[in-house]
Amino acid sequence: MKLRPDTLAMTAVLAMLTALGPLSTDFYLPSLPDIVHVMGTDVAGAQATLSSFLFGFAAGQILWGPLSDRLGRKPVLLAGLGLFTVATLACAFSPSIEALTAARALQALGASGPIVLGRAMVRDLYEGARAGKELARMGMIMGLVPAVAPVIGGVLQVAFGWRSTFIASLVFALGLAAVIVTVMPETLRKRSPQPLSLVTIFKGFGTLLENRAFRVYVALTALAYAGLFAFISGSSFVLTGVYGLTPVQYGLSFSFGVVGFIGGTILAQRLVGSRGMDGIIGLGVLCLALGGLMMLGAVATGAGGAFGVVLSWAVYACGVGLTMPQAQASAMMPFPDRAGAASSFNGLCQMLLSACVGLLVGHLLKGAALPLPLVMSALGVAAFVLFKLSGRVRAAKH
């Protein structure tokens, strides 16, 4: 029995594909302070394990999409999952911070395949606003994972230590691979005739970039995700180190943002038919700017303590839920024959900007909370300004 494209089960599987990468990070967020202690490193060293993950994720974005355009989604997907499982074992048994950082990059190389191909498979199966709605539905389902993952990670950290969080990621990946092998159909309708080489891949990316609207939507996606990652990489040090939350309390606080993200995806599903994808993105970038500025005000004035930070995080995350699925769908719409490559380049830009932002946050924090909202507000406002200035380009779609 194969999954049908119009079923919630198909949506759930695609959502789990896109959740694998975030899950492997969210599980061990509560463990970052402990990794600093156990590995004898500092905040920047522990944060480097997150940025190395993003650099590996970015490298994978270059390959998986074009490979799947040529070889098919399913075999390339399984190859990525296989690499992820091997690298996750290496993470679990890393003897030093340097080994963990290297293993995380390899783990990300494998994890990038499922998220790139999950987006491409949506483009294989759906058109126009339906694709945006489907990505929003996937985001809603995927949002349940980070809602519980930091909490589970906090419990695992307290009970078994930080290595157990990687074992949990491994179990999830193996279960997902079993589903792909047994019930997931091949969604690619026509394979690309282009030969496989780095030269042809980058030439293909160049062709995509000739589309001005594509450039705008990719930039909006990257800015939204970079702000999200800034919070992911710095929040455990701010909320536990500055505001004194426990690992479990931190996991619960992180879940407030997930509620905001899910709320954004639900709004997108309900309103995209009447407002269109650009209308939803406009609401999203407004929330990004508002959430970032709210957090900046809360930290600068001390208003609300940890709750002020968490509430602002929920508003920002709502903006991510509104913005990213619609911007991703809009970026891929003009390229039905190169959805894999379009998805790859989109993800590549997300990961490169986020990795740089994560390194910046790690070096700026140094026991202070203010650098985190400064970075997030700058990214949110930049997304809002770009959207407002790009109206003609987006309307022309070229």
pLDDT of residue 4: 66
Pairwise CA distance, residues 255 & 250, whole Å: 9
pLDDT of residue 275: 86
Pairwise CA distance, residues 269 & 89, whole Å: 38
Report which of 229, 223, 269 is spatially closest to residue 108, judged by C-alpha positions: 229
Helix (H) or strand (E) holding 301, with range, is helix 247-301
For residue 160, how many C-alpha atoms fall within 13 Å in the half-sphere facing its CB? Answer: 13
Which residue positions in the chain have pLDDT lower than 50? none
Report which of 127, 181, 144 is spatially closest to residue 5, judged by C-alpha positions: 127
pLDDT of residue 279: 92
pLDDT of residue 147: 65
pTM beyond cutoff 0.85: no
Tell me the residue type at 368: A
pLDDT of residue 280: 93
Pairwise CA distance, residues 310 & 156, whole Å: 23
Cβ neighbours around 395 below 10 Å, total: 9
Report which of 55, 59, 35, 58 is spatially closest to residue 45, judged by C-alpha positions: 35
pLDDT of residue 128: 66
pLDDT of residue 141: 65
pLDDT of residue 311: 92
pLDDT of residue 7: 67
